[in-house]
Chains A and B, each alone.
Chain A
Amino acid sequence: MFKEFIQGLSITFKHLLPGHSTTVQYPDERLTPSPRFRGLHRLVPTQDREKCVACYLCPTVCPAKCITVESAENEKGEKYPQVYEIDLLRCIFCGYCVEACPVEALEMTAEYELANFHREDFKFNKKRLLK
């Protein structure tokens, strides 16, 4: 019994010695998320427009039903999303939309500081998603 007591005490004492803390002092130091991290979405642009062809696959697959797409045709006769909006308050960051996209027009970034002050600020429209 006493041996175990001593063992326990020695472990905690070892941790007390400098260099054992694993805390990251968040706003001062940040961890880099892994490459597979699923953060804020981004619409991938090409030279003059977004890659998205408004195929409606992502709003269909989205389990949270938080993507709104409205397709339209531009002067070259190509389909493009007139409206593309993701409601991040409902998004569960599952990444299905990215997987579903046939033209790899959507990706997820490492951006995770998504707090905001107003509900409207969580609706990410095409302009914000293209950034």
Chain B
Amino acid sequence: MTPEVEVLSLSSHPLLFLAAMLVKIGVVFGVVLFIVAYATWVERKVIGHMQTRLGPMRTFWHGLLQPIADGMKLFFKEDIVPSQADKVSYILAPMMILVPSLITVAIIPFGADLQIGNYIIPLQVAELNIGVLYILAMAGLGVYGTVLAGWSSNSKYSLIGGVRASAQMVSYELSAGLAIVAVFMLSETLSTRGIVDAQSASVLHWYVFKQPLAFCLFVVCGLAEINRTPFDMPEAESELVSGFCTEYSSMKYALFFMAEYANMIVISAIAATLFLGGWSGPTPFGAVNLLGKVFAFMFFFIWLRATFPRVRYDQLMYLGWKIFLPLALANIVITGFVVVLVN
């Protein structure tokens, strides 16, 4: 009797399952943190050159050790908690901002199934059949960190930053969510794995070609949701000092910094998974595909930052509610019609 090949689960082989899980978590976490560290370097270099500067040059060859030096510097800085701040939420806020972005990575599939013995190991930390909902939920959680940070610092700039963040994220989450709706109307599944499978046939099956509008909407709204320039209203250093993280120092500030880049990775990975076929093309190596797409997106985000000035707050709200939301709704209606007609 030959044993059947089955998906590795906690009940079928607990030890192997745990080991595989830990390895996957370790690798994904390590890769994400490494990218976070070096994204800061790449961003400084790229923006530097785009502004005809050089960027960091002094630490090692072309400033390659700059992230480490920065990390060490932040580590040894004095950790200041303002005396009038709300201590608990002040300390909680940086964690609340970083954790949702890091755990969103869990549902990004990064390769084809691996077969060890008689077990199939999916290359994805957590296989959720409601993956897309989970993404939206975690994106919604992220805003609490920003608002809490702004409120608990007990400073007017931080508060304004926090309030802006809440308004901005709520309005853009809506359009981003609606843009994704069009995708799973086509894929008929909410699992990220299923969505990648649906696009895996060839490059032409990528949803970016079937849903170009939804793709653009998602990228722009995603940008707004993670507060990157030109939508970095909550930070807006030229008007709000540093917005919600004005009062933070030392490692707490570093957490905000890491969260910003982790969010960038997450949005890039989600956009790649939902619209660009995730790990399933164009080269045969899953992880390479995904990373390549993520890097391309991140470069694009950095490029945008070097190019465009910040939008005004009323422009931001106008854009979100009067342009993106109707467009996203119209996209859903059209997609619905097409899906019904084709079937």
- Is B118 at the interface (CB under 8 A from chain A)? no
Whether a CB of chain A sits under 8 angstroms from the CB of B52 is yes
Q: Is the interface of A mostly helix, strand, loop or mixed?
A: helix
Among A8, A9, A11, A23, the residue within 8 A (CB) of B54 is A23
Number of A residues, CB within 8 Å of B: 13
- Contact among B49, B52, B53, B307 with A8 in the assembled complex (CB-CB below 8 Å): B307
Q: Which B residues are CB-close (under 8 A) to A11?
A: 307
Within 8 A of B (CB), among A13-31: 13, 15-16, 20-23, 25
Q: Beyond A20-B49, A21-B49, is A12–B54 a contact (Cβ under 8 Å)?
A: no
Interface string of B44-59 (1 = CB under 8 A from A): 0010111111100100
How many A-B pairs fall under 8 Å by CB?
A: 35
Residues of B within 8 A of A23 (CB): 52-54
Contacts A8-B307, A8-B308, A9-B303 given; indicate if A15 touches B52 (C-beta within 8 A). yes
Q: B306 contacts the other chain (Cβ, under 8 Å)?
A: yes
Q: Which residues of B contact A16 (CB under 8 A)?
A: 46, 49-50
Q: A8-B308, A25-B57 are in contact. Are A20 and B303 (CB under 8 A)?
A: no
Residues in B with CB closer than 8 Å to A12 are 50-51, 303, 306-307
**Partner pick for B303 among A13, A22, A25, CB 8 A cutoff:** A13
CB distance from A14 to the nearest CB of B (A): 9
The answer to whether B54 and A25 touch across the interface, beta carbons within 8 angstroms, is: yes
With most chain B CB atoms within 10 A of its CB, the pick from A5, A12, A22, A23 is A12
| Per-position 1/0 for A101-120, Cβ under 8 A of B | 00000000000000000000
Which of chain B's residues has its CB closest to A8's CB? B307
Taking a contact as CB atoms closer than 8 A, the residue among A5, A13, A21 that contacts B53 in the complex is A21
Q: A21 vs B49: C-alpha distance in the bound complex, in angstroms?
A: 6
Q: Is the CB of B307 within 8 A of A20?
A: no
Interface residues of B in 33-69 (CB under 8 A from A): 46, 48-54, 57
- Pick from B49, B57, B304, B308: contact of A15, CB under 8 Å: B49
Q: Which residues of chain B from 1 to 56 have a CB within 8 Å of any chain A CB?
A: 46, 48-54
B50 contact set on A, CB distance < 8 A? 12-13, 15-16
Q: A8-B308, A12-B50 given; name 5 further pairs at CB < 8 Å.
A: A15-B50, A16-B50, A22-B53, A23-B52, A25-B54
Interface residues of A (CB under 8 A from B): 5, 8-9, 11-13, 15-16, 20-23, 25
